[in-house]
Amino acid sequence: VSHEAKCANQQQLNPQQEQEVVKHIERATRDGLPPTRGILKNFGSAVAQHEVSDSWVDRFRHRHPDKVTTKWDTGIDRERHLADSKHKYELYFNLLHSKMQEHGIDERNTYNMDEKGFFVGIADRRKRIFSKAI
């Protein structure tokens, strides 16, 4: 048995499932929210239909160096962080909630990020897995 065949039999996802994960990373990168290691592990577990190991993300990245890369996200800049106001956020989200009710938009179809793609309320930097195709 070849080394490649032996490794393929030990992988937690088959090649088709791994391709599905690559496509997920491409979509997420295109949408401005490349996954963190934790998000990618959860998605890999969902695709595999069993829990993948913590080291699976690293091995996945090493198997696909031509398709994915890891970078730090930009986070929120200091000036924007200082300009934040709890009162403004409350006004915004109250208006948003009323408009969602008015137009029948389900809360599951909303996301909490701004035009830069960072999560509102999270100012720290995180490593994310990006698609090289985007």
**Per-residue pLDDT tens digits for 1-57:** 555 555 555 688 999 999 999 999 999 988 888 999 999 999 999 999 999 998 999
**Residue tagged 């909630």 (tokens):** 97
pLDDT band at 133, cuts 50/70/90? confident
Q: List, for residues 86-123, the tens digit of each pLDDT value.
A: 777 788 888 988 999 999 998 888 776 655 555 555 55
Let me know if 19 is exposed, middle or buried by CB neighbors in 10 A (0-12, 13-18, 19+).
Answer: middle
pTM above 0.75, yes or no: no
What are the residue ranges spanned by the domains of the chain? Answer: 3-131
The pLDDT score that the predictor gives to residue 59 is: 95
The pLDDT score that the predictor gives to residue 115 is: 54
* Cα(130)–Cα(30) distance, integer angstroms: 9
